[in-house]
Amino acid sequence: MPKLKLKAGSRPPWVGLAAAVWVEISAGNAYNFPLYSSTLKSVLGFNQQQITILGVANDIGESVGILPGIACNKFPPWAVLLVGVFACFLGYGVIWLAVSQTINGLPYWVLWIALVVASNSNAWFGTAVLVTNMRNFPLSRGTVAGILKGYIGISAAVYTVLYSSLLEQSASKLLLFLTLGIPVICLALMYFIRPCTPGDDTSGHVHFVFTQAASVLLAIYLLTLTIIYDTVSLSDAVSYVLLAIVFIFLLSPLGIPIKMTLSRANAETLTPLAGSTEHLAQGEGDSSQADPLLSPSSSASNLGSFYESEYASDMETLLAVGEGAVKKKRRPRRGEEFKFREAFIKADFWLLWVVYFLGVGSGVTVLNNLAQIGVAFGLDDTTILLSLFSFCNFAGRLGSGALSEHFVRTRTIPRTLWMTCTLIVMVLAFVLYALALSGTLYVSTALLGVCYGFQYSLMVPTASELFGLKHFGIIYNFMLMGNPVGALLFSGLLAGYVYDAEAAKQGSSTCLGPDCFRLTFLVLAGICGLGSILSIFLTIRIRPVYQMLYSSGSFRLPQASNH
C-alpha cells in the first residue's frame, strides 16, 4: 500500500474518526441479541439452553476476527468494510425470515450459522475502523481506543431507543433494520475511513476532550430517554424529535474537521497581513519549508509508516549490519514491532489473553442472559436493566481510555493494573448477584457493566504497546477470541445448564427466583478472583516495558537495535 503524505494537523484523520463513530455504532449490532432473543424463544419454540447456544454463536461471530485482522494489512479499509456489509445483510436477513415467519421450518443449525455470519460483520466493521484510526493517531492510542470502544458500548442504548420508539418494540422490525439499515450506513461512510499519516496537532487534546464530552452527554441522554419511553406514553411526533437529538449527538464529532476547515480558511485570509508574498510562494511550493511548525515531530516520524512492506525493516537491517545480519538477527523485544507468530510464543501474550478471557468471558455471560436474569429476579420489563448495563459498559470503555492514558503518561503505570482492579470489583458484583439482596440487582449490573467496559477497552492499547501496531489487526482479533471462548464455557455450558436444571425443578421452561443463576454467579466470582491474581503477575512483568515506552511522559518507540 502506498504511503500517504499529509500535511501535519490535516483534517482527514478527524473526518475518519467522525465517520468511525457511526461505523462503531453499526458494529455494536450484536448487542441487540437480548432484544430479540425472547421472540426467538417464543416464535420458534426454543428452550433456554438453545437460546444460550445461539447467544454463543452471536459472541463467536462478533469476536472471531482473524480474517479481518489479516485483511486489514492486505486490503484498504473500504474493502474490509464491504465484507462486513455483505455479512450483515445475509446473516440478519436469514434470521428476519425466520422470526417474521416469511419462511417456516428453518433448521436450528441454519439459524446458528446465520447468527455467526451476522455478528461477524462486527469484526469486519470494528477492525477496519479501529486499526485505521489507531494508526492515524499513534500517539494517542489509548484515548482513541477508549472513544471507539465506548461508542460500541453505547450502541446497545442507541438500538434500545430505536427499538422502543421508531421500531415499536417489534423484533421483526429490528431485524429488518439490521438487515438493511446497517449496510446502507456503512456503504455511505466507507469512503471516509482511510489511512493517513498526520503529524502532531497541538489542539488534538482539545478535540479528543470534545469527542469524549459529546459521547458522555449522548450516553446520559440515551439512558434518560430509555427511562422516559418506559414510564411515559409519548406521541409519535415527540418521539421523532427526541430521536433526532440522538442523531445530532452522533454527528457532533464532525464538528472538529468543520471547525478546522473554518479556522484554516480564516488563517489563510490573514496570512498576507503577517508575511510577504515570497512566503506565500514558498508555502504553495513546499508547505514544510514555509512553516516548520507543521512538520511532524520525531515521535510521529518514528511511528509514521505502517503501510510500507513488512520486509522494509529487515532490508534496513541487512544494509546496516552487513552480510551476516540474517544470522545475527534477534527476535523483537516487548514494545517493538512483532509479527503474529513472534507474539504468539510470548508468555505475556498468553497472560494477557487469559486475563482478558476470564474477565470478558464472565461479563458476556451476564450480558447474554441479562433478560432472563431480570425475569428471574422478578422484573416484568428488562429494558431499563439492559440500558443501565449499556450505559455503564460505555462509561467503563471511555473512562478506561482516559484514566489509563493519564496514569501511563504521568506514572508509567501499566494499563493492566486497572484490569486487576476491575476484576476484583467483578468478584464483588457476582457475590451481590448471588446473595440476591433487595435493591442490589441494579447496583450489581452497573458495577459489572463498568468493569466489562474496562476489560474490553484496556486490552486494545495494551496489546498494541507490547507488540506494536504493524500487525496489530491480527493480534487484536486473536485476543478477542477470549470473548466467544468465555461465552461458550461460562454462558453456553454453565449458565444454560444451571438455568434449565432449576427450571425443570419448577416444572416450567421459565425459571423464577435467585437459584436460577446463583451457582453460576459463585463460579464466575471465583473465575474473576483467579483473573485478578494473573493480572497482578502480568502487571509486574510488563512494568519495565511501560517505563521504557513512557519515561519521557509520552509514547516513544524503543531505540532501534540490530534485529
Q: What is the 3-state secondary structure (H, E, C) of 81-101?
A: HHHHHHHHHHHHHHHHHHHCC
Residues 336, 462, single domain; the answer is yes
Domain contains 319: no
Q: Verify that 439 and 541 share a domain, yes or no.
A: yes
User: Where does a domain end: 233, 258, 283?
Assistant: 258
In a domain, 301, yes or no: no
Whether 350 and 479 share a structural domain: yes
* Number of domains observed in the structure of the chain: 2
- pLDDT tens for the chain, 563 residues long, are 444 444 444 567 888 899 999 999 999 898 888 788 888 888 888 887 788 788 878 878 887 788 898 898 889 999 999 999 999 999 999 999 999 988 888 899 999 999 999 999 999 999 999 989 988 887 777 788 888 888 887 888 888 888 888 888 889 999 999 999 999 999 999 999 988 865 445 556 788 889 989 999 998 898 888 888 878 888 888 888 999 999 999 999 988 888 888 877 665 554 444 433 333 333 444 433 433 333 343 344 444 443 444 444 444 544 444 445 444 566 788 888 899 999 999 999 999 999 999 999 999 899 888 888 998 998 887 778 877 888 888 889 888 888 888 898 888 999 999 999 999 999 999 999 999 888 899 999 999 999 999 998 899 899 999 998 888 889 988 998 888 888 889 988 899 889 989 988 988 878 899 899 999 999 999 999 999 999 999 999 999 999 988 877 666 655 544 44
Do 349 and 239 share a structural domain?
A: no
How is residue 286 annotated by DSSP?
-
Q: In angstroms, what CA-CA distances link 133 with 30, 168, 455?
A: 22, 35, 20
Q: What is the pLDDT of residue 555?
A: 63
* Single residue among 216, 243, 258 that ends a domain in this structure: 258
Q: For residues 226 and 351, state if they share a domain.
A: no
CATH number of the domain that residue 55 is part of: 1.20.1250.20
pLDDT of residue 265: 65
Q: Residue 459: CB partners within 8 Å, gap ≥ 6?
A: 352, 356, 360, 419, 476, 479
336 and 251 fall within a common domain = no
* Judgement on whether residues 247 and 106 belong to the same structural domain of the protein: yes
Residues 337 and 254 in one domain: no
pLDDT at 554: 61
In a domain, 460, yes or no: yes
Q: Do 245 and 356 reside in the same domain of the chain?
A: no
Residue 299 included in any domain: no
pLDDT at 227: 82
Give the domain range for residue 525.
332-555
pLDDT for the residue 2 = 44
CA distance 221 to 243: 10
Residues 357 and 502 in one domain: yes
Can you give the pLDDT at residue 206?
85
> Are 64 and 156 found together in one domain?
yes
Give the integer Cα–Cα distance in Å for 373 and 442. 11
Tell me, yes or no, whether 339 and 239 share the same domain.
no
Residue 267 lies in a domain: no
Long-range contacts of 439-448 (CB under 8 A, 24+ apart): 441/373, 441/374, 441/377, 441/379, 441/385, 442/385, 442/388, 445/366, 445/370, 445/385, 445/388, 445/389, 445/392, 446/388, 446/389, 446/392, 447/392, 448/363, 448/366, 448/389, 448/392
The verdict on residue 280 lying in a domain is no
Helices (H) and strands (E) in the chain, counts: 26, 0
Q: Is residue 291 part of a domain?
A: no
Assigned domain for 310 exists: no
Nearby residues of 343 by Cβ (< 8 Å), 6 or more positions away = 349, 466, 467, 471, 475
Residue finishing a domain among 237, 258, 279: 258
> What's the pLDDT at 259?
85
